[in-house]
Amino acid sequence: MRCCWVRGCRVASPSPRLRADVPQGDGGPPWSSGAETLGEGGQSPRRRGTGQLGSPAGRSGRRQLPSLLWTLPPVAVLAAVFLYPLTLVVRQSTSPDSGGTSLQPYADVFASAAFRDALGTTVWLAVGATVGCLVLGFVLALVIAFVPFPGGKAVAKFIDVFLSFPSFLITLALLFIYGTVGMANGLWTDATGAHSGPFQFLTTPWGVLLAEITYFTPFVMRPLLAAFSQLDTAQLEVASSLGARPARIVRRVILPEALPALAAGGSLVLVMCLNEFGIVLFTGAKGVTTLPMLVYSKAILESDYPAACVVAVVNIAISVGLYGLYRVVSRRVGA
């Protein structure tokens, strides 16, 4: 029997002759299995990695600090690029030309007939365009998804490309076709010898509505095509084998599956129509004044910056509220 020192504690060690007589089991000495060397004071030593510095809480605390450092730059850029100008707009809306801080600009704008007319025009154009996009987008998506025709896949991919087009490009295309000197009026005057053509609706609210429906319909079609691609075609085959007509199949089978995509796409189109400026400007519809056009008129043409900022704040409040509604609808319907 020999003695050795392990971590400040004297431990008896068997002699080599005794070790040879004792079975080793799985390769380790029997006195090492299940035994733990005692430290000073008779207490068990602290294992590596289980102390305060090596605990999961300590490691997570060290990880949180670099993550906060990585978050600060984008937050600072967002504050400088977006929040600071927005703060200036809100502050300017409460700063009348007479000086000081007052809510009188809000009272003046809300009492004006121009603001009420612009608000009404903005709402009915946005709602009308949204309804038109939902109806037209649903029909076109049905045809592309369930009616086989040559070039169907190319049309579906073109919709993705169409989403990247600027709004004024679609308006210019409509001007080339239906404008005062457009192709349709040119063909009419050449065929009849008339002084002007019959197509003069593009500078009216109906022309703005047509341009918005043309531009925003793909924003409804894209989620619908994605929803139709996940639809089980066996349901359609079973309904057809049972004698259901196509209209009933659409109403009872396809439409319930498309409601989440319709809700999400319609909410998005409504928000975008409320803020549309380029289509109204490029159609040349002088009698059509929306909230974005009123902001432009007050700020650029009349140099009434407090009134322009008031209209802008109202437009932002409506847009943020509708966007919140869009997020709630999208989350609840799972779109």
- Rounded CA separation 13/320 (Å): 78
Is the separation of the CB atoms in 321 and 149 below 8 Å? no
Is the separation of the CB atoms in 6 and 37 below 8 Å? yes
The overall average pLDDT reported for the chain is 78
Nearest Cα neighbor of 220 from 266, 167, 286 is: 266
Give 189-203 pLDDT, tens digit per residue: 888 888 878 888 888
Q: Per-residue pLDDT for 65 more than 80?
A: no
pLDDT for res 19: 45
- Rounded CA separation 294/292 (Å): 5
Give 169-187 pLDDT, tens digit per residue: 888 888 888 888 788 888 8
What's the pLDDT band for 35 if we cut at 50, 70, 90? very low
- Rounded CA separation 303/301 (Å): 6
- Rounded CA separation 266/260 (Å): 10
Who's near 327: CB < 8 A, 6+ residues apart?
Answer: none
Q: How many CA atoms lie within 13 A of 41 on its CB side?
A: 3
Burial class (CB in 10 A: 0-12, 13-18, 19+), 150: exposed
Nearest Cα neighbor of 109 from 327, 303, 311 is: 311
Among 67-76, 90-99, 120-129, which range has the highest average pLDDT?
120-129
Query: Is the overall model pTM greater than 0.75, yes or no?
Result: no
- Rounded CA separation 217/269 (Å): 8
What does residue 9 show for φ and ψ, rounded to 5 degrees?
Answer: -125, 135
DSSP notation for 176-242: HHHSTTSHHHHHHHHHH--SS-S--GGGSHHHHHHHHHHHHHHHHHHHHHHHHHTS-HHHHHHHHHT
What's the pLDDT band for 17 if we cut at 50, 70, 90? very low
Give 246-263 pLDDT, tens digit per residue: 888 888 888 888 888 888
Average pLDDT over residues 121-125: 93
Question: Residue 261 corresponds to which tokens in the numbers above?
Answer: 């995509």
- Rounded CA separation 217/131 (Å): 10
Q: Per-residue pLDDT for 21 more than 60?
A: no
pLDDT for res 136: 94
% residues pLDDT > 70 (the chain): 79
